Amino acid sequence: DGGITQSPKYLFRKEGQNVTLSCEQNLNHDAMYWYRQDPGQGLRLIYYSQIVNDFQKGDIAEGYSVSREKKESFPLTVTSAQKNPTAFYLCASSPSLAGSYEQYFGPGTRLTVT
Amino acid sequence: SQQGEEDPQALSIQEGENATMNCSYKTSINNLQWYRQNSGRGLVHLILIRSNEREKHSGRLRVTLDTSKKSSSLLITASRAADTASYFCATDALFFNNNDMRFGAGTRLTVKP
């Protein structure tokens, strides 16, 4: 099965701890993205990567970090510097530039920080 | 910052009726996409319409684009209870980085059986 997976589905952490969210795709897509969604809101772009070993900040990158060491993997770390980390996190991929291609989304990870 | 804004925020209809959702945006675009999201799930792509297109169809879905008014509409005909979901438009601004997709806040559609 081709697709994009995120794990875990639910994640609970204590305030002050860093946490890493996994995102893997076997679609052979070059571009990958991380979005944050808050209740009743649209998606806000955190980071994106167009190619291995390269990534760019989105609108709300502060308090987050990413890596793209392999084409199929784009993990997101929510650091203790992120002031309001509780949210639904969505990973996506596309063959190339986002505007011209559809994005394929993972099932999401719901992070709760207390 | 959000580029697209959907209207209405919420829509409730009976099964069999048509549902129309609108999306307005601020800057000129290359492409506009519509996505669907079931509660607590990822988004699923529905339709992509390019700035030089005016209308596209896919099954029971019809999307129109009016670049002079900077708006798009998504029509779902003969709705079913399974169409209950949130619907988002996403745009990429002309002349900006093509990876800079912007999603609206969505329209929450409820189809009552």
Q: Do A100 and B98 touch (CB under 8 A)?
A: yes
Q: Do B92 and A99 touch (CB under 8 A)?
A: yes
- In A40-104, where does DSSP find H-type helix? none
Phi, psi of A54 (to 5 degrees): -140, 135
The answer to whether the CB of B13 falls within 8 A of the CB of A60 is no
Q: What is the pLDDT of residue B12?
A: 97
DSSP for residue A82: -
Which tens digits make up the pLDDT trace of A83-110?
A: 899 999 999 999 987 678 899 999 999 9
How far off is chain A from B45, nearest CA to CA, in Å?
6
Q: What is the DSSP string of B73-97?
A: EEEE-S--GGG-EEEEEEEEETTS-
Q: Do A98 and B106 touch (CB under 8 A)?
A: no
Which tens digits make up the pLDDT trace of A22-67?
A: 999 999 999 999 999 998 888 999 999 999 999 999 889 999 999 9
Instruction: Establish, for the pair of chains A and B, how many residue pairs have beta carbons separated by less than 8 Å.
Output: 70
Q: What is the pLDDT of residue B2?
A: 53
Closest residue, chain A, to B32 (C-alpha): A99
Which tens digits make up the pLDDT trace of B72-112?
A: 999 999 999 999 999 999 998 766 565 567 888 899 999 99
| Dihedral angle, C-alpha A93, A94, A95, A101, nearest 10 ° | 180
Q: What is the CA angle B105-A21-A104, rounded to 5?
A: 50
Question: What is the spatial distance between Cα B52 and Cα B49, in angstroms, rounded to a whole number?
Answer: 8
CB atoms within 10 A of CB B108: 19
Kindly state whether A30 is in contact with chain B, defined as any CB-CB distance less than 8 angstroms. Answer: no
Share of chain B above pLDDT 70, in %: 91
